[in-house]
Structure 1
Amino acid sequence: MGMHGILVQQQRLLEAIILAALAASASAAEPTNSSCIRTCGSLQIPYPFGTTEGCYLDPAFLITCHDSTPFLRRGHIKVLNISLDGELRVTTPIGHDCPNNETTSSYNYELSLLTFSVSYTRNKFTALGCDTYAIIRGTLEKQNFATGCISVCSKIDSVVNGSCSGIGCCQTSIPHGMKNFRVVLRSFNHHSKVGDFNPCSFGFIAEEKAYNFSSLDLINFQNRKTLPLVLDWAVGKETCPDAQKNSTTYACNAEHSECENSPNGPGYRCICRSGYEGNPYLSNDCKDINECEISNPCNTTCTNIPGSFKCDCPKGYEGDGMKNGTGCRLIVTRYRSIPLLLGIGIGFLVLLVGASWIYWGLKRRKLIKLKEKFFKQNGGLMLQQQLSNFEGSVEPAKIFSTKELKKATNNYDESKILGQGGNGIVFKGVLPGNKAVAIKKSKVFDRSQTKQFINEVCLLTQINHRNVVKLLGCCLETRVPILVYEFITNGTLFEHIHYKSHLFSLSWENRMKIAVESAGALAYLHSEASMPIIHRDVKTANILLDDNLTAKVADFGASRLISLDETQVNTLVQGTFGYLDPEYFHSGQLTEKSDVYSFGVVVAELLTGRRAILSDKTEGERNLAMYFVSSVIEDRLLQILDNHIVNEGNIEELKEVANLAKKCLSVRGEDRPSMKEVAMELEGLRNMKKNPQEKVDLKTEETKYVVTNSTQSFSIDAGTSNSSTVTTTVAYDGTIKGR
């Protein structure tokens, strides 16, 4: 820990000791000293806040007034405004990183609050720059967390004023209950390519409404030092029921006041009841509101009553008398009104039944037409034509109806959810015949790719490889097409490697088997399918396992089309951070060699048992690929291998596999082997272990695939999308929360 960190810890400890000592003598009684100063400069300081002892509720509410400038407690946080609604507006510094400026090269700031929390509804974390990634770190209830965003752009003309979508500016939300944080700023290329119009990166947590992004900020934001920040304040750490048990410390002293729990962390607040206004922390300060004078709510005579009002209708009239209510209506004599009311009631009932019948009929007809509209828009007629001309040994794609899938998932019951992310939700369904399937509901669909989507559905349903999750069909009667896959029973490879419930379940022999099968599946998609298919998101979470631990590669092909639309092309990075080809950040293109790189990360994960994003308190986040390659080069492989496989695996075989993974993780794509070469070499290593006396020629050994014979061919243009930013939230256990 550096000297700065030691000083910060000592300052926090000293402030905590002072607050604890003062709190021991503080009480919830309101101040009786009439000389209490309630202003500092232009700031009004209402109780429970105060500037001197005896004028505030407890030390947490101390305001220090120095040269007519108010500060929170005895620190350096300047106070801008205090609201009895539970909000405190203060100033917060702006972090910056200027790689080419020796005088102000870097300023990473932190904020530590002992009692109050940063408002997660009023503030946002924002980063500015064209070569920037920014991270917030902190603790929540003794648990570490980290979140952040990336902002990249190549020229200032591509920046849109007022938009923090990732081009020049990115934003992300902050977690609930955050009391302390640190903002860290870094750049990818030290601003070497964008320095003429963006010499620095900036990052800050500030009130969302207080900042509106402008392209000029990329050049001259250095002149801005602070921005407003909204804090949520509350009394103590107890809930309302617990606080009310002790009348001497309970803060809601005012008559007609009531208590509410703090929405952002521990503690409670006091509010005046409906119909009253004032300071609920002072006795007799919640005053009755005279609604009759303020809002004039009545059509007739208005009478103010404590906490409310009433409107009086004239004699012979009935109703609430309110302008926004039923008003006043003439009272009809009882006996004369019976036939009239009976006739009106029967007529209304007939009208209601008829209207309901017409309504439900029209609604059903509208629903049918809407399904037909979506079916045509999503290429249903094209798919029907393709299937009518289909000739092949493999069962063609099936077109499911919305009724079938709703029944299979019990109307998409939450208990059927297998997983969900930024692109959609996957449900488990059971079709007639007790056949389990995985049903993927995506969020968006690029309609310009409809023809390509239909061609891919037809193509992918013909893939019959034992290590590829089979696409069974789709439903086109919804706004976004729904895909139906075979259901794989034993979870993901990620879960088997990392979750405690699967600890010790994967031997080295099983890991080698999974690596060989996954490589073979990817090689098949690249080389043996009727049209080459690039996966684009190879990771352990997309490799499924069945009951026999047979690997099944998932989430490829048509699902990639559904997950993109025109509004996302320039804002979403394809693939997952930690597995992503480094060449992608420069070219914006994903190739077959990108899958090879991602597979190299998977093998590294199998060997080390570590996640794609490593995390610890001292070194922060590290990319597993870089960590693994450096360990192999520096001959530190045995130090990073998973303990569960070192004793059972052949060390030479482990080194061979590690060297192959290192080749896959080459920075330049042209230096990586093809996926077919990787599959052949892994299969060769596995065969040598099974038959150590036999020599296997890796150059001629072929990986066997199941190739479906079909006379049907399809034309596909598998496109890619340029992207500029990714927003990723990483917990300190290393789990990737966003994509």
Structure 2
Amino acid sequence: MTSYLCKAANSSCSEPHGRGYTCKCPPGYQGNPYLSDEHEDSCQDIDECKDLDRNPCNATATCTNTNGSYICICPNGYEGDGRMPPGTGCSRKGQSKTMIIALGVCISLLILLVGSSLVYWVMQRRKLKKLKQKFFKQNGGLILERQLLNHKESVEPAKIFSAEELEKATNNYHKSRVIGQGGFGTVYKGVLPNDRVVAIKKSNVVDQSQIEQFINEMVVLTKIRHKNVVKLLGCCLETEVPLLVYEFITNGTLFEHIHDKNLSSSLSWEKRLKVALETAEALSYIHFETSMSIIHRDVKTTNILLDENHTAKMSDFGASRLVPLDHTRLTTVVQGTLGYLDPEYFHTSQLTGKSDVYSFGVVIAELLTGEKALSMDRPESERNLAMYFVTTIKEDRLLQIIDDRILKEGNTEEIKEVANIAKKCLNVRGEDRPSMKQVTKELEGLRLSEKHSLKKVDPNTQQTKHLPNAPTHSLGIDVDIGSSSINTAVADDSMRNQVVKPTDDDAR
């Protein structure tokens, strides 16, 4: 058409639409297609090679401009279209084959690695399973299963937990779950699938020669029903050392309540006497009322737990021993805690129930004075609380060392009576000490007597007024059972340096 408006020689018009059309420059050109070629602004070739920021060629290729396009030339020894991706670029001749081979090798190695890892994982799982079976047998699992079948009368028999259950319950024994640590092992807080909170004890070592003893103790202790003994829920025998699962007691240890200033203020004389009585009841029970007498062997304030009602719970039977019916004493490797350790047992290695009585005497002294059983911060003559406590009683200086918090409550006579009970427990010779049954009766009589009444100081007269006897608090609480474990750790060598000096009365 003579009136055709696309004047540039290489311009074109779009397909007509309606009654008109538009002109455009072809790909590779830019400018005004309505102007003839004589004009500089008509459709002109774009030199793609000049735009260094958008160079379309590979770094090794040479860019050459052509009308409406460009070509990329690879250097000698290279092949490909020389263009940037999605082009093939430039690669050494034969390199593509090498890359294909290399890629194939890599994929093969990856498959081999994954396959080997899978085989290794399966083998490790089998190995772990065999190891767990080995530990289960080694730790007396078969004996325990047989024993539990023979003791169906137990209301709630001990459960045998799997290693996976306890790992999950403790978040793989994460350090944030540690709630107690000592020479015999570590205690973790765990949460079972049913949301029950438990305490899981992981012992440090175990004596394989004592496995049957351990299993017997477990069976006996799981049958114990006593409100003042921590309940043993079960164990795991699939690990190198047995793991014991206890009920979780929420309020910490008696040691913390005596020696922590924030807690001790709430530990009144009433509560201290209650804790002393309940601990005595627990020890009396395991000494005289179980099918086989049990000696705890590590009675101390850190092993007495308190619940939210300040009810005492005897715990940690890791050092305990069963006493055969025809025996009254056992010869054992000396084991215990300095400050609480029975001096007679220390010197003779002869363990009896009176060894627990001595340790309980130290606990009472600790309750009365608020002092630790053994402290290097005190003068040499006062470092051993048991010896210092007995000396002050004989020298009639007892009230000088009694905790001020309970002295202010005006219970002087009761304090003296409880102190005399402790003094009898702390006799150097075991035969001169009362039994835990006798101690329990004395404490119970004291707590239930007319002397045991609430006292209150009149702020105006500063005289003590005796109120009518308060109703006796119920000593019954939910039934609990004890726990047991094996540990043959030998007493610390420093124990050999402990010197126990008998007093004249004790010697007689």
Compute the TM-score of the two structures, normalised by the length of structure 1: 0.47
Output the amino acid matched with 1:400: F
- C-alpha contact (below 8 Å) 2:132/2:239 kept by paired residues: yes
In the alignment, the residues of structure 1 paired with residue 279 and residue 332 of structure 2 have an alpha-carbon distance, to the nearest angstrom, of 30
Residue 343 (structure 2) aligned to one of 582, 586, 591: 582
Number of the residue aligned with 2:464: none
User: Counterpart in 2 of 1:411?
Assistant: 172
Tell me what 1:211 maps to.
none
When residues 689 and 611 of structure 1 are mapped into structure 2, their CA distance, relative to the original with a 3 A threshold, is farther
Q: Which amino acid aligns with 2:227?
A: R
2:299 equivalent in structure 1: 538
Which residue in 2 is equivalent to 1:485?
Answer: 246
CA distance in 2, matches of 1:450, 1:571: 16
Shift of 1:376: 1.0
Equivalent in the alignment of 1:660? 421
* Bigger helix share: 2
- Residue-by-residue CA offset, 1:145-197 (whole Å, 9 max, x unaligned): xxxxxxxxxxxxxxxxxxxxxxxxxxxxxxxxxxxxxxxxxxxxxxxxxxxxx
Aligned AA (1:341): A
Q: Which residue of 1 aligns with 2:364?
A: 603
CA distance, structure 2, for counterparts of residue 381 and residue 500 of structure 1 = 48
Q: Deviations over 1:435-465 (max 9, x none)?
A: 1110000111111111111111111111110
Name the structure 2 match of 1:362. 123
User: CA RMSD of the aligned region, Å?
Assistant: 3.0
Alpha carbons 1:589, 1:722 under 8 Å: kept = no
Residue of structure 2 in register with 1:424 after alignment: 185
Q: With a CA cutoff of 8 Å and minimum separation of 6, indicate the structure with the bigger relative contact order.
A: 2
Inter-partner Cα distance in structure 1 for 2:228 and 2:183 = 26
Cα pair 2:319 2:487 within 8 Å, conserved: no
Deviations 1:353-406 (A, max 9, x none): 211111111111111111111111111111111222222152111100111111
Flag the structure with higher strand content.
Answer: 1
CA distance 1:374–1:720, change in 2 (3 Å): closer
For residues 707 and 557 of structure 1, the distance between their equivalents in structure 2, rounded to whole angstroms, comes to 23
Alpha-carbon shift at residue 481 of structure 1 (Å): 0.5
Secondary structure of the 2:292 match is coil
Aligned counterparts of 2:475 and 2:294: Cα–Cα separation in 1:
18
SS in 1 for 2:383: strand
Q: What amino acid sits opposite 1:455 in the alignment?
A: N
Could you give the per-residue CA deviations for residues 327-366 of structure 1, whole angstroms, max 9, x where no partner exists? xxxxx98455323312311221121121111111111111
Residue from 493, 496, 501 that aligns with 1:725: 493
Letter aligned with residue 208 of structure 2: R
Shift of 1:722: 7.6
What is residue 509 of structure 1 aligned with on the other side? 270
Report deviation, 1:433. Answer: 2.4
Residue deviations 1:565-586 (CA, integer Å, cap 9, x gap): xxxxx99851110011111231
Q: Name which of 435, 446, 449 aligns with 2:196.
A: 435
Is residue 390 of structure 2 the alignment partner of residue 629 of structure 1?
A: yes
Q: How far apart are residue 617 of structure 1 and its match?
A: 6.5
Change (3 A) 1:618 1:673: closer
> Do 1:524 and 1:705's aligned partners in 2 also have CA atoms closer than 8 Å?
no
Asked if the contact 1:426/1:441 (under 8 Å) is kept, the reply is: yes
The alignment's TM-score, normalised by the length of structure 2, stands at 0.68
> Could you give the per-residue CA deviations for residues 454-489 of structure 1, whole angstroms, max 9, x where no partner exists?
111111111110000011110000010000011101
What whole-Å deviation, never above 9, does each CA across 1:391-441 have from its counterpart, x for those lacking one? 215211110011111111111111111011122110011113221110000
State how far apart, in whole Å, the 2-side matches of 1:573 and 1:520 are. Answer: 25
Q: Which has the larger radius of gyration?
A: 2
Q: 2:406 corresponds to which residue?
A: 645
CA contact (8 A) 1:612 1:625 kept: yes
Q: Supply the AA of the counterpart residue of 2:296.
A: H
8 Å contact 2:184–2:487 — kept in the other structure? no
Residues 336 and 560 (structure 1), Cα distance of their counterparts in 2 relative to 1, 3 Å cut? farther
Q: Could you tell me which amino acid in structure 1 is paired with residue 118 of structure 2? A: W
Residues 181-200 of structure 1: pairs in structure 2 closer than 5 A? none
| Match of residue 84 from structure 2 | none
- Distance in 1 between the 2:294 and 2:478 partners? 14
Map of 1:346 onto structure 2? 107
Distance 2:490 2:350 in 1: 7
Residue 377 in structure 1 maps to residue 138 in structure 2: yes
TM alignment of 1:222-241, pairs within 5 A? none
Question: How far apart, CA to CA, are the structure 1 residues paired with 2:295 and 2:117?
Answer: 52
> Do the aligned residues in 2 keep the contact of 1:611 with 1:624 (CA within 8 Å)?
yes
Q: Which SS does the other structure have where 2:156 is aligned? A: coil
Partner residue, 1:135: none
Q: How many residues align?
A: 372
